Amino acid sequence: MLQTENRTAFDENHAIFRDQVRKFFDRELHPNLNRWEEEGIIDRDFWRACGEAGLLCPTMPEQYGGLGADFGYNIIIDEEMTYAGSSAGLGLQSDIAADYILAYGSEEQKQEWLPKMISGEAIAAIAMTEPSTGSDLQSIKTTAKKDGNHYVINGSKTYITNGQNADFIILVVKTDPSLGAKGISLVLVEATREGFGRGRNLDKIGQHSADTSELFFEDVRVPITNCLGEEGLGFAYLMSQLPQERLSIAAAAQAGAQRAFDEAVKFTKERGAFGKTVFDFQNTRFTLADLAAELQVGWAHLDWCITRHIAGELTAVEGSAAKLWHSEIQWKCCDAALQLHGGAGYMNEYPIARLWRDARVQRIYGGTSEIMKEVIGRSL
């Protein structure tokens, strides 16, 4: 269990909510983790149960069915879910997609989608990455061309979280390919639209229970009113939401690092070698001591970021730095913890194996570590 007594970003109400999240996960998440890993997808019943428990989009206003809470509540869910060893795509729905609709959507779009997202009736995906483009969003080729009062969309996306389950997609498109970044728009595409297709559920190294898909758009017609915000401002919208997205990843990374560390301490104190426990070897204790110190720094930094973000002060550079540092420390902790498990660490029956696999992508999605360094470097 995560030790949260000395956290500075949370108050008593947060603590009560965290206790509720833990009890819910004990009942609804932990018993299903292994099955979801094998099946490669999360049951929709779990999404609806999360909605009933108030675990989806808690920051959304009460008028749409949300709790009207601060972002600390989202962070609690992110931390507890990752510490539990789950890669369910709740964070994408609650921390990213819902805020795009709240910030840029028309009242009609908000009324249509937010209540359903909060209840778990509707699952959202955001489709940015394409087979030929990664972090360079300005190079996307998916187009939305006007035809009367409709867009006609053609293109494909890949590595899309919630792709198999998604009821609608926030799609990044070029509405005017000649304008570069200023020609990028966000368009809502319902999964029921003719011409929309899902590819296979992608076979990933880790995060097996998170459905991740290819999506295809062949002459998909959607009304012009499906444009999210103003046409041509999609790139600006994406950039403005990045600090929160990267903070969400940082929080999950820190919790994953802590769980890996806790597993290593537990295992090394129980496993015997040469007449004593593995923990009794100086190398083991020094390795763990180094990780413990870095985790201490990490929790303090994370709380600083959370506090700044809730106050509306976290900058894009600070969010990038948080994503960089915490995802890198997650990998360091997971890899060191697996090493301390010895051969057992390579066995899927031990939690560290899943934690190690799931951690690897954290340094890639949401902006690679290299891109984070570019963002930070350009601000110097």
Closest CA to 227 of 160, 293, 302, 149: 149
Contact 75, 251 (CB under 8 A): yes
**Domains of the chain: which residue ranges?**
12-122, 125-232, 235-378
What separation in angstroms does the CA of 251 have from each of 184, 255, 344?
29, 6, 28
CA distance 294 to 301: 10
Looking at domain 235-378, its CATH architecture is Up-down Bundle (1.20)
Give the N- to C-terminal CA distance of the chain in Å, as an integer: 39
DSSP letter at 173? Answer: E
245 is catalytic: yes
- Kindly state which CATH superfamily the domain 125-232 is placed in: Butyryl-CoA Dehydrogenase, subunit A, domain 2 (2.40.110.10)
Grouping H, G, I as helix, E, B as strand and the rest as coil, residue 214 is strand
Query: Of the listed 79, 214, 245, 263, which one is catalytic?
Result: 245
Helix, strand, coil shares, percent, the chain, to 5? 55, 15, 25
CA distance 279 to 97: 44
Instruction: Write out residues in the chain with pLDDT < 70, as ranges.
Output: 134-135
Closest CA to 206 of 80, 32, 336, 351: 351
Residue 199 in tokens: 């590819």
**How high is the pLDDT of residue 101?**
98
**How high is the pLDDT of residue 5?**
85
**How high is the pLDDT of residue 139?**
83
**How high is the pLDDT of residue 132?**
80
Check whether domain 12-122 has CATH 3.60.110.10, yes or no = no
DSSP letter at 130? Answer: B
**How high is the pLDDT of residue 319?**
97
